[in-house]
Amino acid sequence: MKKLITFCILLFAIQFLQAQTNLIWQHSYGGTGHEYTWKTIPTSDGGFAFVGMSESNDGDLSNHHGTATNNDLWVAKLSAAGVVQWSKLYGGTDDDEGYDILQTSDGGFMVAGWTASSDGDVTGHHGTSNNDMWVLKLNSSGAIVWNKCYGGTSDDDGAAIAMNTAGEFYVAGSSTSTDGDVSGNHAQYYSDFWVIKINSTGTLLGQKCIGGTDYDEGINMISTLDGGCIMVGRTSSTDGDAIGYHGGTDMLIAKLNSSLVVEWSKCYGGSQTEECNAVVQLADGSFAALGYSSTQNNGDVTGHHGSLGSDDFWLLKLTSTGAITWAKCFGGDGDDQSNGLTKTADGGFVMSGLTNSTNGDVTGFHNGGWFDPDIWVCKINSSGLVQWQRCCGGSGQDESFKVFEETAGVYVVTGFSYSADYDLTLNHGSADGWIFKVTGGTNGIEDVNNQNIFSAFPNPFVNEITLELSNSNSEIEKISIYNVLGEKMKSLENENFVDGYKIETSDLPAGVYFVEVTGRDFKSTKKLIKE
């Protein structure tokens, strides 16, 4: 029987849109040990390259440097279809991990991470039992051109690398050192954000510590249109560069010029835990910063979905000087932690991370359990309105670190997986690197009016609107109403959606709204106008 849901709302123009998501291809990479693929980039030949870490000496891996419990930094080159063309491990007999990669104009690669080794491929390590920031220059076949360690006698980590407009490179991470290459650390025992500038041969041109007298962790960084860079992470500091601290752990974002002078730095968050893992710059100089929040609607945080202690994706749209334009939470009542962000050709954003939620903005969780999250990919428009979302993975633990838009509406997602079912067909043993390509249709949304999945009538309305599903096997799980700013005005869930079900909406002011109807196997949105 057709399902009828009736709203009290006045409207006059309806557009019917439904998101279509499909996995174009997916590949698991690794051996019998633990592997993590951290970031994938497109290459000039139409393929891809990724960076990560590995414990294995079998499967896709060979020539591991340490024991079976030590990580090597891992770089692999892939074809356009995701097939391994070459795969190489780098490091020594201790732990070595890679977090960022970019392709250089000669077809080679610059790679950033950290190392605890002082042998094997590693030269110039500063200590004996500490980590150094580690940068490698590789040729197009993966052979080492040069490698250098940066840091002091305490722990120094590399998390991101980016090239500026002058052809120099920024490398960013964290440091607890106060000697060697490091100066200006704000705390004796806690880490600061740390960013260095090097030339194409690895010569150190400058460095900067950012933070306060408590814990500050630099997690990501990009170069900016003006030749500088912007760095993001988290802080527990209440002084120094941690301006506007809210409590718990805050996001910390710092903008630097090309001389590594801090132009502005600000804290964002509420009374609980916030962390920033990704940032992009838009053509107008503004920024979008993505992380997660466990704060329940105080400070800068509104619209949190879960209970105290659970995380939501948290996206902030910022001006060029760091003022908040808008900030929104995405997720359900479980844990939703974001790591990857890309701007899209249609002016929106795609976010990726993990979820174990089964409600709110999230549908399609693979039922792995609380400790076995899915990768969650979520597409929003420029105002923060959800256009489509997909849970990706299997019954094991699946998490995403990065995402980028390959072509309009097509996205490459990088992470790891313990699964071998549902969206995955292979696991080499333990955690595998997992990379997949997903599409959300034309610019993430496909017009399916001709498919007649559901209709709205009559049009226009004076006091109510009736929605009708044409498929008698479909069931509605949730209905949400958003205004044009993407703010959720009303949400209906766990209701008995039967014929003639009526919802009072007289409390909504006149304006344009989007009514989002979610079922187990679909999510559709209609544009409504109330006079």
Pair 155, 254 in one domain: yes
CA distance 451 to 310: 38
Of the candidates 492, 478, 479, 489, the residue with the CA atom closest to the CA atom of residue 513: 489
Please state, in angstroms and rounded to a whole number, the distance separating the CA atoms of residues 434 and 13: 43
Q: Which residue has the tokens 């105080």?
A: 298
Contacts of 255 (CB under 8 A, 6+ apart): 224, 228, 229, 230, 262, 263, 264, 265, 321, 322
- State CA 127 to chain mean position distance: 33
pLDDT in tens, 14-66: 233 334 578 899 999 999 999 999 999 999 999 999 999 999 999 999 999 98
User: d(Cα 163, Cα 67) in Å, to the nearest integer?
Assistant: 34
Residue after which a domain boundary falls, among 244, 266, 288: 266
Residues 300 and 361 in one domain: yes
Kindly state whether residues 385 and 453 are assigned to the same domain. no
pLDDT for residue 485:
58
Q: Is the pLDDT of residue 3 over 70?
A: no
Query: Which tokens sit at 255?
Result: 């903008």
Is residue 169 assigned to a domain?
yes
| Residue from 520, 514, 477, 294 nearest 386 by CA | 514
Question: Looking at residues 129-149, what average pLDDT do you find?
Answer: 98
Q: Are residues 366 and 462 in the same domain?
A: no
| Sign, Cα dihedral of 184, 190, 195, 201 | positive
Residue 529, classed as helix, strand or coil, is: strand
Residue 377 bridge partners (DSSP): 352, 390
For residue 348, the 8-state DSSP code is -
For residue 208, tell me if it sits in a domain: yes
Query: What are 451-464's pLDDT values in tens digits?
Result: 345 565 665 656 77
Mean pLDDT for the stretch of residues 439-462: 49
Amino acid at position 424, single letter: L
Please indicate, yes or no, whether residues 260 and 283 belong to a single structural domain of this protein: no
Q: How far is Cα 18 from Cα 159, in angstroms, rounded to an integer? A: 37
Residue that finishes a domain, picked among 266, 295, 328: 266
Are residue 220 and residue 318 in the same domain, yes or no?
no
End-to-end CA distance of the chain: 32
Tokens representing residue 518 in the block: 């979610």
Residue 52 lies in a domain: no
Residue 459 lies in a domain: yes
Cα 2 from chain centroid?
39
* 522 three-state secondary structure: strand
Round to whole Å and give the CA distance between 409 and 437. Answer: 11
List pLDDT tens digits, range 82-108.
Answer: 999 999 999 999 999 999 999 999 999
- Structural domain total, the chain: 3
Confirm if 430 and 31 have CB atoms less than 8 A apart: no
Clarify whether residues 278 and 386 are in a common domain: yes
For residue 444, pLDDT beyond 50: no
Mean pLDDT of 186-202: 96
Most confident of 121-130, 166-175, 453-462: 166-175
Chain position carrying tokens 């941690």 = 242
- Residue 508 belongs to domain with CATH number: 2.60.40
Token pair recorded at residue 471: 């498929």
Going by their DSSP bridges, the two strands 501-503 and 4-7 should be labelled as parallel
132 found inside a domain: no
Tokens encoding 525: 């949105």
Which domain, by its residues, includes 375? 269-398+419-426
6: how many CB neighbours lie within 10 A of its CB? 16
- How many C-beta atoms lie closer than 10 Å to residue 122's C-beta? 24
Residue found by looking up tokens 């609980």 in the block: 272
Clarify whether residues 262 and 273 are in a common domain: no
Q: Are residues 234 and 306 in the same domain?
A: no
Looking at the structure, tell me whether residues 336 and 366 fall in a common domain. Answer: yes
Q: What is the DSSP letter of 244?
A: T
Any domain includes 118: no
- pLDDT in the model for residue 13: 29
- Residues 256, 296, single domain; the answer is no
The region of weakest confidence among 406-410, 450-454, 487-491, 499-503 is 450-454
Q: Which two tokens stand for residue 457?
A: 């009538």
Q: Percent of the chain at pLDDT above 90? A: 75
Q: Do residues 279 and 373 both lie within one domain?
A: yes
> What's the confidence (pLDDT) of residue 462?
64
Nearest one of 309, 376, 401, 387 to 348, comparing CA atoms: 387
Residue 228 lies in a domain: yes
Share of the chain above pLDDT 70, in %: 86
Residue 241 tokens read as 């560069």
Would residue 411 count as lying in a domain? no
